[in-house]
Chain A
Amino acid sequence: MNDKFSRILDESIERLIKGETIESCLEEYPNDREQLEPLLNTAQLISSIPKVSVSEKYSRVSKARLIARIRRESVQAREAETRSGIGLFDELGLAWHRMWQSILGAKKVAIPVALALILALVLSVSGLLNHLSTTPALASQCTLTILSGNVDVQMPGSNAEKTGTDGMTLNIGTRVKTAPGSHAVLTFFEGSTVKLEPETEIEIQQIEYDNEQPTAIVLKQWLGRTWSRVVKMADPGSHYQIETPSATAIVRGTLFTTEVEATGTTKVATTEGLVSVVAQGDEVYLPACQQTQVDAGEVPSQPQPVPISRSEIIITFDMPATGSVTDPTGSSTGILPSGFYFNQIPESQSFLTAEDRQQINISEPMTGEYIIALRYLSEGQAHFNILGASDGNVVFNYTGNWGAFQEHGWLIHLGIHAESGRIISGEVTSAEPLGEETPEDIVEAPLAGGKASKIMTQDSDTNSTADVDKGKPEDKGKPEDEDNTGDKGKPEDKGKPEDEDNTENKGKPEDKGKPEDKGKPDKAKDENNTGNKGKPEDKGKPEDEDNTGDKGKPNKPEDEDATGNKSKPENKGKPKDKDKPPYWFS
């Protein structure tokens, strides 16, 4: 019976595929109509699922990458075969044994808890061999950003700790330690960032690049919690490796947290991408939203789902606005109009939705003020929505339309009260035009030249050291390579529709202007969730209740100090209509 009906079903499906209707199929088998119809409907429904496919750009680049990888591995395999004495696996085993012993040895001496984060960009078996057999050029290209509080640094060869300064360059061997309540970010020359939570201690063990291509970044995490955003490079086989005395984790370009407890336990959780954790010969894979725990000397625990966040802030806004969120610790997640993407807030995400809206998710927000910065790629009005939810219930919901001229923007202040991971209340307390001072404290790390340049700071460069790169205008606004294609902001690639970078700013101008307008617009509060509280003015003629004094003054050139770290080039955005204020809200 089963076989007979399955044959009828299959034949009917084949007819559907050829273009016949369900009804005509049913007429053929009237006795089976009742059983057949729902299944054919289901089959038709499944067939309606849009078929995803890779972009032409990804196809082209990944093909070149694959061929390069195959060729390189072939060459290395031949080299390995011709080596005398030690076979491939013997050598691997020997290297592994040496590495293992060094880690174990270090543990015996002083490391109750040690986590080496090896960002091995040329890795896999061949990458490891390559690394062992060559001496890549060394560089010290890591920039410290102090988001809040105090950070101590211990220079290589020194036993004394000194106070770290925002923007200083850190050399290999430097230890960085965040004080209680303090937050900091390390930005590497290839764009990866590691956010240090309070009471976290980390050491830069190795930073290597060869011919301007990163080859390895090795960190040792002694204690505390870090949030890593690892840029996936175009290099074939590029992935990353985390090692501890008891485990090795292979990391692809991804977002993940690493926590090292005083007991020696290491916890790894993936937010995006894929992480592989190996310990004592056992391997577990952590796709997005999975976590594992590795106790010293033990195998990794079976992956478990990361507990669902009890609360979340979801912010969306339409083009022409792009934006970011800065949390009470000073950490920011979002994107600049230049396409520069950053993610410093643990477990946060920023991406572009199908409707071409930018969405930022903040998981389990803390009590304090969140600042949302909107920047306009062109003159226009952007619909926004700020929603807070706890345990599946909406706690607050603001929505409205904000307008501004190109290269201007808004700062929206959102006060959050949270307890035990839940949002108790949330309120948009004020909104103001984006001025000279921007909330984000981020470092752009263009790969070319291997130098990191500070492009935005909350304060002036008074804290900067002589080591800080003093701003490279030509480097500003280079988009990161989030789509793993290796196209690091090549102008010709901007705006190509096939680009898969979900956060990429397609063909958008650089963020070159910060308006001086400090006028206060209407508050965006919408406690009734009804939408616009402001007057639904004509979009072309924005209301200007508080900004009257600022009309026609959006175009003053900003800081033209070419040596400064601030990214404040001349404002090139000239409003077309001088009678129109640079901002409006409805």
Chain B
Amino acid sequence: MDNKRNNIARRKTLTANKPENVRQTDIIILVEKAIEGNVEAFGELYGIFLDRIYRYVFYQVRDRMTAEDITEEVFIKAWNAISSCKGKEKTFSAWLYRIAHNRVIDIFRSREKEQLIEMDPVAEAGSTELEVETEIDHRELLDSIAELPPNQKQVIILKYIEGLDNREIERIMGKKQGAIRILQMRALARLRERLNGGAEEK
């Protein structure tokens, strides 16, 4: 069994560590190893989920450096609390997203509760080319997403940016699918309204 686990860990090092490329069973094994204190296994999990967590954070804070900082803190917190995943290895991904969400909220708690940073041209300065391009081409849309109520924004980012299905979103948000569908509908309606409003103003 140990050999099998080691092989899995080694294989992940050599292949693209994207969640979509990794089997759920492999993730579970890595989580089990991490719970036992295996730092390397946790490093593999980091490689698998880094992109997703970074992206999830980035589209909320919209600043590269801040997103990197928060992402790192998310994984540190995850490591420190990894024992709480015992018996819940299957939901590691959702658990990680929840930490990220809470961390983002923590970071900006000193501002209005759960109201995250709004886009500002200066905040782009440290962004990568793709990020800058994203901001330039989709600024109005991203601004509108940023102004959504937190729950609606979370659904939109998880579904359309992160590409998660409703079941995964259900696990992350701890809400039933019906509630998620309603949140999605309201978010889309609100976005449509804002974008139309912006178009009319122009």
Contact = CB atoms under 8 A, between A and B. Distances in A.
A100 interface: no
Interface string B105-133: 00111110000010010111111111111
B79 interface: yes
B75 interface: yes
A489 B40 CA distance: 28
A43 B189 CA distance: 10
A272 B51 contact: no
Given A47-B160, A302-B111, A351 B125 contact: yes
A50 B130 contact: yes
B68 A484 contact: yes
B188 A52 contact: no
Given A42-B192, A272-B65, A500-B128, A6 B50 contact: no
Interface stretch (B54-62, B84-92, B93-101): B54-62
Interface in A244-294: 252-254, 271-274, 283-285, 287-290
B181 interface: yes
A160 interface: no
Interface stretch (A59-67, A399-407, A535-543): A59-67
B36 interface: no
Interface string B48-78: 0011001100110101111011001001100
A39 B185 contact: yes
Contacts of A284: 110
A500 B58 CA distance: 15
A110 interface: no
A349 interface: yes
Which of A39, A52, A59 lies at the interface centre, i.e. has the most chain B CB atoms within 10 A of its CB? A52
B138 interface: yes
B127 A502 contact: yes
A289 B122 contact: yes
A346 B131 CA distance: 25
Given A39-B192, A43-B160, A52-B134, A303 B182 contact: no
Interface string A62-76: 110111011100100
A70 B39 contact: yes
Given A51-B55, A51-B161, A302-B111, A288 B39 contact: no
B6 interface: no
Instruction: Determine the interface band of chain A, counting residues with CB < 8 A from chain B.
Output: 35 or more
Interface string B132-145: 11101110011001
Contacts of A283: 110
Given A39-B185, A46-B145, A288 B120 contact: yes
Nearest to A45: B141
Contacts of B72: 62, 65-66
10 contacts: A6-B184, A13-B184, A39-B189, A43-B160, A52-B59, A254-B65, A273-B126, A274-B63, A287-B66, A354-B129
Given A39-B192, A66-B46, 13 more contacts: A6-B184, A50-B130, A59-B50, A66-B43, A272-B122, A274-B69, A285-B108, A285-B109, A287-B63, A351-B127, A353-B132, A354-B136, A502-B128
Interface of A: 2-3, 5-7, 9-10, 13, 38-39, 41-43, 45-55, 58-59, 62-63, 65-67, 69-71, 74, 232, 252-254, 271-274, 283-285, 287-290, 302-303, 305, 349, 351-354, 356, 361, 484, 500, 502
